[in-house]
Structure 1
Amino acid sequence: MSGNLLTQLLLNGLIVGTLYGVVAMCFVLIYKSTQVVNFAQGEFLLIGAWTCWWLVVEAGLPFWFSFPLTFVFMMVFGIALQMVVLRPLIGEPIISVIMVTIGMSLFFQSITKWIFGADVQPFPEIFPVKAVDVFGLQVQPAYLMSLVVSVLVMIGFAWFFKYSRMGLAMRATAFNQQVAQSLGISVKNVFAMAWAISAMVSALAGVVVGMVNGVSGALSFFGIKVFPAVIVGGLDSIIGAIVGGLIIGLLENFAEYVDGQWLHLGNLYTVAPFYVLIIILMIKPYGLFGTHKIERV
């Protein structure tokens, strides 16, 4: 029984870890293109989840239409946010932009509570079954859907950055903005696309978590939970984001097993990733795949 529980938790950790990896890639995408850490990333999940919930529950649209429509809305939202709020800050100190993302986080939390309330709102039943048997283990269909979509997103990211014109422009901008501009690349358009993609992909995680746990303001905490994955993998590495997400997903579920079986602390599931975050910052501050930068002053 204990072995089955551990296997079930590790499978859950693997599936949730892919979601962590997808959201971590959004952190990395914005950081590589703009050198800004977006502390409003969790609110992108929250807004995406509330948007899909409203389309399904209030507008009465079928989920399979509401889900892609949420992506379209979040793409427009990300572009508008970058153009209206962040574009005027180009050239300002990085700390000013980071403080604006913190302000956006608080603003979006407040506005969503004002519009939708503070209570948890469940999604209606989307799938005909409660759980699917996978090698003798019970997995919720929403998690299986998220696993498939997350893998497709990761493959899409790999293709996008390697072959598409905008992906190559983003890589050039991340390397050096002035050089990218000299090559005719619109840095402003790159910034807008980075925020649009980040908002869209974050919405995927928000909808999945909302389908499992319900939608509420607590969903924004998911962005904070992903931050250890970003640091473990490396703040400027897409591959590191994926690996870091899987590590944190497996780690927190293994910590839950250890806590439940032996330690009985009650909160190890929540705090274990942040212990790893501190250790990584002490021994390998650039993460497992991050770029080492040497600055002379």
Structure 2
Amino acid sequence: MGFFLETLFGGLMAGMLYALVALGFVLIFKASGVFNFAQGAMVLFAALAMARFSEWLPQWLGFESRFLANVLAIVLAVVVMIGVAWLIERLALRQLVGQEPIALLMATLGITYFIDGAGQLIFGSATYKIDVGMPKDPMILFEDVFQGGLLLSKEDLYAALVSALLVASLSLFFQKTATGRALRAVADDHQAAQSIGIPLSRIWVIVWSIGGIVALVAGIIWGSKLGVQFSISLVALKALPVVILGGLTSVPGAIVGGLIIGSGEKLSEIYLGPFLGGGIENWFAYVLALGFLLVRPQGLFGDKIIDRV
């Protein structure tokens, strides 16, 4: 029982990190109707900015405090991601208002390659380190209940708590603020939102900025765990089944989908791996997403679309 719970908890923590990346997809789709294939590139770009600024700032400003370097690096990375959002709106999205969704989708593919290339050009292509002080030592719980106790990662626990706080804050923002309601109105109909005085360009800059900040949080967490390298952008591929499972328009769905996929892939690797062969963790999420597309294509919490003729 102890080993099962340890595996389950590890899967849930991994699922929270998948959900954090998926949250960027959901936020931008929810507020603009655009499925943002560039989210993985944004995670990479934000992580590169954070890692490199934390290296460069002590040299530029002549101080040695790691804490101060991290704080200033995070602030600068947020400014950079807001600038990226402004450029995306000004150079790409503004030209595509009222166009077919496929045009916006293809635009995000182009943005992906542009951000990847710009990140490599500006920040370099090596593997960089992010150290924000998250404890990496494991901890053992419930030694009196289970033999040997449960071995848990403090870093995963802290990352899960940060992710949960961010999700709760964004849920409140969308439900309780005038800007959040305006974002949802723009997603329903761009032209109708403009006709009632909602400034589409400002709304898109806001939502892409929020997506950039979410990408920064995800990039810091993944960079702290794995180092900042270009394979981080591939994490977005694991987030795709998460949004399919939870629903493209549901913030809570991104979390539930991430938890289901994270725990499911860990448990299946441990308990089904000996019978089906290794590598289940690599394809479990995609098979589960395929099943949901066949049975419930809108996902667990997505809005069911009913066309009336």
Q: Considering the TM-score relative to the shorter chain, is it more than 0.5?
A: yes
The answer (yes or no) to whether the contact 2:136–2:155 under 8 Å persists in 1 is: no
Which residue in the other structure is 1:11 paired with?
9
Tell which deviates more after alignment, 277-286 or 71-80.
71-80
Note if 1:96 corresponds to 2:103: yes
Equivalent runs, 1:178-197 vs 2, <5 Å: 178-197=191-210
- Match for 2:168: what amino acid? I
* Aligned match for 1:246, one of 259, 266, 270: 259
Q: 1:154 to 1:134 in 2, by over 3 A?
A: farther
Give, in whole Å, the separation in 2 of the partners of 1:129 and 1:47.
24
Note if 1:121 corresponds to 2:128: yes
Which residue in the other structure is 2:32 paired with?
34
- Match for 1:111: what amino acid? A
Tell which deviates more after alignment, 278-287 or 182-191.
182-191
User: 1:213: how far off?
Assistant: 0.7
User: 1:5: how far off?
Assistant: 4.1
The answer (yes or no) to whether the contact 1:232–1:280 under 8 Å persists in 2 is: yes
Note if 1:48 corresponds to 2:61: no
Which residue in the other structure is 1:286 paired with?
298
* SS at 2:201 equivalent: helix
The answer (yes or no) to whether the contact 2:52–2:123 under 8 Å persists in 1 is: no
* SS at 2:118 equivalent: helix
Equivalent runs, 1:253-264 vs 2, <5 Å: 253-258=266-271, 260=273, 262-263=274-275
Give, in whole Å, the separation in 2 of the partners of 1:52 and 1:62.
10
* SS at 2:92 equivalent: helix
Which residue in the other structure is 2:286 paired with?
274
- Match for 1:229: what amino acid? V
Tell which deviates more after alignment, 229-238 or 12-21.
12-21
User: 1:284: how far off?
Assistant: 0.9
Q: How many residues get paired?
A: 294
The answer (yes or no) to whether the contact 1:146–1:205 under 8 Å persists in 2 is: no
The answer (yes or no) to whether the contact 2:32–2:183 under 8 Å persists in 1 is: no
Which residue in the other structure is 1:235 paired with?
248
Cα deviation per residue 1:181-205 (whole Å; 9 max; x = unaligned)?
A: 3332212211111111011101111
Note if 1:78 corresponds to 2:85: yes
The answer (yes or no) to whether the contact 2:3–2:150 under 8 Å persists in 1 is: no
Which residue in the other structure is 2:211 paired with?
198
Tell which deviates more after alignment, 68-77 or 188-197.
68-77
- Match for 1:230: what amino acid? V
Which residue in the other structure is 2:64 paired with?
none
Cα deviation per residue 1:221-280 (whole Å; 9 max; x = unaligned)?
A: 1111101010011112222222111111112222332355x1463321111000001111
The answer (yes or no) to whether the contact 1:72–1:200 under 8 Å persists in 2 is: no
Tell which deviates more after alignment, 95-104 or 219-228.
95-104
Give, in whole Å, the separation in 2 of the partners of 1:133 and 1:121.
30
Which residue in the other structure is 1:210 paired with?
223
Q: 1:71 to 1:149 in 2, by over 3 A?
A: farther
TM-score, normalising length: structure 1: 0.89
The answer (yes or no) to whether the contact 1:21–1:242 under 8 Å persists in 2 is: yes
Unmatched runs of 5 consecutive residues or more in structure 2:
59-67, 143-148
* SS at 2:129 equivalent: coil
The answer (yes or no) to whether the contact 1:57–1:124 under 8 Å persists in 2 is: no
- What RMSD, in angstroms, separates the aligned Cα atoms of the two structures? 2.3
Unmatched runs of 5 consecutive residues or more in structure 1:
none
